[in-house]
A and B are shown apart, each in its own frame.
Chain A
Amino acid sequence: MISRYQRRKLINRANLTMAVLTTAFGVFWLLWILWTTLHYGASAVNWALFTQDTPPPGSGGGGLRNAFVGSLILLGLAVTIGAPVGILAGTWLAEFAARRKLGAIVRFLNDILLSAPSIVIGLFAYAIIVDPLGHFSAFAGGVALALILIPVIVRTTDEMLRLVPGALREAAIALGTPYWKLVTRITWRASASGILTGVLLGIARISGETAPLLFTALNNQYSSVSLNRPIANLPVVIFQFAMSPYTHWQRMAWAGAFVAVVFILLLNILARLIVRRHSGGI
């Protein structure tokens, strides 16, 4: 018969061991997935991947050039639409509505939008752009990605601006600065690195999004840069190739996945470095 004290210690030890094991469990998946991507992907990466377009079914050779170009166009479009909207809305939340009820409601709704399933956002873009126009287009894909990007930027902009000390604002107002000048010249500048981090993390998030593009940008076997036509893009090509029965296509899907993962991890690291460098700043 063990004493109550020993029993407590035993339970403690057992549960803490479990906590360590669960952490190892979590990290294990990360390593496994990264290793798989590296193992299958890195070996399939070659020069042709970036210089040739997607091959027709069953034939060898080819690359993913049109998919990379298409994805960059979609990302560019999403950032062009999403960054100004997100930053302005975030600015309103932090600068004009910080203590207002309406601000709290908008912030709440934005947080919901942030977690809303991307497939639903894609269907929404389909309903407002693709369906009325009658055809899939790169533009619709860019809008869908922008809608996913915006809440991320709104949230970080809002949070970063609220970290700017009030004294900075009061000093500017005391000098007679108009409020819009105060925001654009002082608080935006003080939180620029934070806002940039939000944009980078947002780009990292949308660059792997596949579901919303299925109903908007669709895919294009050929090279196209028109915003008015379907456009090839990395995630949808990966989806199509990975699901295909051809081993050659599957290998290319892994290569594409490898490039996507490297791109996303680099963005994440970059965002972290910016935060770290500037965290002592304001």
Chain B
Amino acid sequence: MKASEAVRDDIKTIATAADKKSTKTHPRISGDFLFRNLSAAVAMLVAITLLGILIALWREGWDALHHFGWKFLVTTTWNPVSEQFGALVFITGTLVSSIIALVIAVPVSFGIALFISEMAPRWLREPVSIAIELLAAIPSIIYGMWGLLVFAPWFANFEPWINSHLGAIPGIGILFQGPPMGIGMLTAGIVLGIMVIPFIAAIMRDVFIITPAPLKESAYAMGATTWEVARKIILPYTRTAVTGGIFLGLGRALGETMAITFIIGNANNLSASLLMPGSSIASVIANEFTEATTPLYKSALLALGLILFVITFVVLVLAKLLLLRLDRMEGRQA
């Protein structure tokens, strides 16, 4: 009994000695260990950037948020001279311009996706797809210049018509009354709509194409028209992803800066009319940041950035979750 225990102890010491020796003869850290951990560390760094953004903007905006409290979100005064800051005008401007953008972009994107996936002859598919994708490649600032110097003066020609026709509708008429200046909330929303079309259309096209052919073909075999297949087969099958794509476009629209800064008119007050100039969160930051000389002013602008980040973050998370649902249905990996 005792002897066997001694033997076991002996074996243990020999084994530990051997272990020590082996680590001594191979003191270098293996390439695998290094590579795996280095890449993992870098990936974690990328992942925590979002958290970093949140913390950094929170710290920088804290002065203003602390100073004004909840009133920062619900007051409309924005007066750098008297240091009174409220974000409501800009939050409203961001939301209104984005909603106008979606009203234009969603039906147009649906039409484009339908055309590419179901109607276009094979040779036409790629050129049209590329053209729409290039719309996304053009920088925001070019949209802004074009919007301010070309589109707005042209669009101003239609505004008297909008005034007299849409403006005369009781109830919503007030939205369309105002001076025909060309620049303003409506123009900004329209340009924003053109800018988000490629993002929404690309997702719709992709998911329309992956709708299983047997589903579509069964419907066609039953005598359904192309429109009925689109409306009753493709759309129900891809509904969550289509919604996700729309949210992704909304996320883009909310944070769009340069184009809006050029066209929205940069007026720091609320007006009911869409033809009047306004401001969005992004446009006021871009316009006033370098002029903000007092700490509270700068902090208020950074707090606006935080609000924008939180809004877009929520929208984008929703978008991704909706898009992942279809991926899972398809059995693809997230």
**A interface list, Cβ under 8 A from B:** 8-9, 11-12, 15-16, 18-23, 25-27, 29-30, 32-34, 36-37, 85-86, 88-89, 91-93, 95-99, 104-113, 115-121, 123-124, 126-128, 131, 147, 150-151, 154, 162, 178-181, 183-184, 204-205, 207-211, 214-215, 218, 235, 238-239, 242-243, 250, 253-254, 257, 260-261, 264-265, 268, 272
Contacts and interface: CB of A to CB of B under 8 A. Distances in A.
Interface in B237-280: 248, 251-252, 254-258, 262
Nearest to A9: B225
B40 A96 contact: yes
A231 to B, nearest CB: 15
B215 interface: no
Given A117-B309, A124-B57, A150-B46, 5 more contacts: A12-B226, A27-B128, A115-B252, A116-B50, A218-B290
A118 B258 CA distance: 10
A254 B35 contact: no
Contacts of A243: 262
Nearest to A131: B60
Contacts of A150: 46
Given A19-B115, A26-B108, A151-B46, A183 B134 contact: no
Contacts of B49: 113, 147
Of the candidates A19, A20, A89, the one having the most CB atoms from chain B within 10 angstroms of its own CB is: A19
A248 to B, nearest CB: 14
Contacts of A109: 46-47, 50
B91 interface: no
B45 interface: yes
A128 B56 contact: yes
Interface of B: 30-32, 34-36, 38-40, 42-47, 49-50, 52-53, 56-57, 59-60, 107-112, 114-116, 119, 128, 130-132, 134-135, 137-146, 148-150, 194, 197-198, 201, 225-228, 230, 248, 251-252, 254-258, 262, 282, 285-286, 289-290, 302, 305, 308-309, 312-313, 316-317, 319-320, 333-334
Contacts of B317: 112
A179 to B, nearest CB: 5
Contacts of B309: 116-117, 120
A273 to B, nearest CB: 12
Contact of A36 (B45, B150, B227): B150
B138 A209 contact: no
Contacts of B289: 214-215
A127 B302 contact: yes
Contacts of B302: 123, 126-127
A210 B35 contact: no
Nearest to A206: B139
Contacts of B201: 26
Contact of A210 (B30, B138, B194, B257): B257
Contacts of A15: 227, 230
Contacts of A95: 39
The 3 closest A-B pairs by CB, nearest first: A117-B255, A208-B139, A22-B111
Contact of B258 (A128, A207, A210): A210
B142 A257 contact: yes
B320 A239 contact: no
A242 B145 contact: yes
B263 to A, nearest CB: 11
A232 to B, nearest CB: 15
Contacts of A128: 52, 56
B305 A119 contact: yes
A70 B235 CA distance: 48
Contacts of A208: 138-142
A210 B142 CA distance: 10
A105 B320 CA distance: 12
Contacts of B144: 239, 242
A261 B142 contact: yes
Contacts of B53: 116, 120-121, 124
Nearest to B311: A117
B134 A265 contact: yes
B252 A108 contact: no
A151 to B, nearest CB: 7
Nearest to B131: A27
A26 B108 CA distance: 8
Given A37-B146, A92-B42, A261-B142, A119 B60 contact: no
Given A88-B39, A112-B317, A120-B305, A30 B141 contact: no
Contacts of A162: 333
